[in-house]
Amino acid sequence: MQEIMLHLIVFSTFGLVCVAGAVNLLVQRHPINSALSLVVVMGSLAVEYLLLGAEFVAAVQVIVYAGAIMVLFVFVIMLLNAGEEERTKGSRVAMVFGIPGMLIGSVLVAWVLLEHSGTGNVATGALPGAPKVIGWLLFHDFLLPFEVTSVLVLIAIIGAVVLASHPGSAQQGLAQPDKRKR
Amino acid sequence: MSLGEFILVSVIKIVIALIVLLTAVAYTVWLERKVVGHIQNRWGPTRVGPFGLLQPLADGMKFIFKEDLIPPHVYKPLYIAAPMIALIFALTSISVIPIGNWITVFGIHTPLEITDVNIGLLIVLGVTSLGVYGVALAGWSSNSKYSLLGGLRASAQMVSYEISLGLSLVGVLIMAGSFNLREIVDAQSGTFWGFIPRWNIFQGQIVAFFIYLMAAYAETNRIPFDLPEAETELVAGYHTEYSAMKFAMFFMAEYANMITVACLATLLFLGGWHGPHRFGPPILQAILPIFWFVAKIFAFLFLYIWVRGTLPRFRYDQLMAFGWKFLLPLAIANLVITAFIVALRA
């Protein structure tokens, strides 16, 4: 009983931290503060995964998202030395349709989860965490989605390299004025 | 174990681990100054206490009582938070590192680490990968060219070498079949033919060991990979604008990271607390595993200092080429070969 109470308290606390981080991400005006808020969101999501029993997913969430991807975000913000963003009033359409739409959407998601998910409480460590089990799931049960995702990521990488490479034969028109400047 | 007992035992273990780690950090600094001094034909610290042994205390006092300057153009919240972030993550990672078997004290059976978790190795990797924020944010928030360059170099370098570091460990994971550091160590107990220990380094992971070693040097910003704080080009890199205790916190974080890296290398490649055959009375047998563990870590720290006293710094393009074009393919090749051999044996 004591453990369940503790579990619930920790879970709700990190849920609140996660939502607070997400709101802060939108409210902050400096990109680096927003990026750090996103790190907080990632970190508290990892704790939630851990409390739901998915140890491996929690660790990967921290290593990949908080530890690598967000570091690159911060790196880019530092590199561009991005300053504070300017506030605009935003469009009226977004205010009129966006807020009710968001409310309806979140109520719908909550209702579906409450009514139709049919899952009970999960104890810490209840889900597979051993490397053997994870390897079996990734390379046997979910082999096709796994491979398709890796091909997708590969395509994205190639696309990024093409976009970032020096404008060569493919973009003669863009490259010309550059050369003249030098 | 009841909840009260659990909390009490945990707090005691945390306090002990913290005191031991901070003392180790202080005396690693002393060791470094001494050894580098002797390498360079100097004495190192000699004035405070015998052999300069009280020098870390004197240094600590000086750092605490020094004026804490905050330059006027820094971004204050992050400038103050950055050294704390660096130190907190450096100290946290030690919490899942086991230094010996389970022991029973006053009727309570407990492991010789703060907590024994199934994904210990992943937690160490995750926490150390967060440590880079301290350095990156320090560089950015200082609002100085040198600091910014140092911070940029640090984040690029750490992200690049983390991949090789992680891949070099996967071979060990495949052999042990577990993320639990204790199980990985137990898989290395015993010997071949009675005298060669079954450490992973003797089980074909020697290439992985050297990849790990080089990537770990880069991760901890040590010479020859200390580009983020290269004195000759960047004044002091990311901690140029820091003084007093905030400055000291970056160094405490760096040395704590060195110790964590040494612990991990010992656990994963050198058989952790397993040593030569057991001998002596029971009390000695209880202490010996910890002795072997500490001895291996000491050897690693000595190697760190030795390398620092020997090698010059990389150039930045060499650093990136070495990480991406040499270490990473080598780590992938090692992983593929290890997986192939394990699959053949199974």
Whether B128 is in a domain gets the answer yes
B56 alpha carbon, distance to own chain's centre: 20
Whether B246 is in a domain gets the answer yes
The whole-chain average pLDDT of chain A stands at 79
Number of folded domains that form chain B: 1
Whether B198 is in a domain gets the answer yes
Whether B87 is in a domain gets the answer yes
Name the strand (E) or helix (H) holding B197.
strand B196-197
pLDDT of A156 strictly over 90: yes
User: Which whole number is the average pLDDT over B283-311?
Assistant: 85
Whether B209 is in a domain gets the answer yes
> In chain B, what residues touch A5 (CB-CB under 8 Å)?
none
pLDDT of B341 strictly over 50: yes
> In chain A, what residues touch B219 (CB-CB under 8 Å)?
none
- B175-204 pLDDT, tens digit each: 887 888 888 888 777 777 766 777 777 777
B160, closest residue in chain A (CA to CA): A68
Q: What is the DSSP letter of B49?
A: S
Distance of residue A15 Cα from the nearest chain B Cα, in angstroms = 20
The Cα B158–Cα B163 span in angstroms is: 9
- A14-26 pLDDT, tens digit each: 989 999 999 888 8
**Which tokens sit at B101?**
């078997």
Q: What is the DSSP letter of B223?
A: T
Q: Cis omega before residue B224 (within 30°)?
A: yes
- A76-110 pLDDT, tens digit each: 888 887 777 777 766 777 778 888 888 899 899 88
pLDDT at A179: 46
Nearest CB to B162 within list A56, A58, A68 = A68
Return the number of CB contacts < 8 Å for A and B: 90
Q: Which of A116-120, A144-148, B259-263 has the lowest mean pLDDT?
A: A116-120
Q: ipTM for the complex? A: 0.77
Using the beta-carbon criterion (under 8 Å), do A72 and B159 form an inter-chain contact?
A: yes
> Domain range spanning residue B228?
70-345
Name the strand (E) or helix (H) holding B196.
strand B196-197
Residue closest to B94 by CA, chosen among B305, B246, B297, B307: B297
| A27-30 long-range Cβ contacts below 8 angstroms, 24+ apart | A29/A84, A29/A85, A29/A87, A30/A83, A30/A84, A30/A85
Nearest CB to B129 within list A56, A68, A74 = A68
Q: Does A79 touch chain B (CB under 8 A)?
A: yes
A69, closest residue in chain B (CA to CA): B159
pLDDT band at A176 (very low <50, low <70, confident <90, very high): very low
Q: Does A131 touch chain B (CB under 8 A)?
A: yes
The Cα B300–Cα B262 span in angstroms is: 6
Residue B233, CA distances (Å) to B150, B169, B217, B229, B313 in order: 10, 33, 20, 8, 11
Q: Map out the domains of chain A as residue ranges.
A: 2-141, 142-182
pLDDT at A152: 95
CATH number of A2-141: 1.20.120.1200
The Cα B152–Cα B138 span in angstroms is: 10
Nearest CB to A62 within list B126, B137, B155 = B126
Task: Write down the pTM of the prediction.
Answer: 0.82
**How many CA atoms within 13 Å lie on the side-chain side of B256?**
28
pLDDT of B155 strictly over 90: no
Distance of residue B177 Cα from the nearest chain A Cα, in angstroms = 6
Best probe of the A interface among B1, B123, B157, B182, by most A CBs < 10 A, is: B123
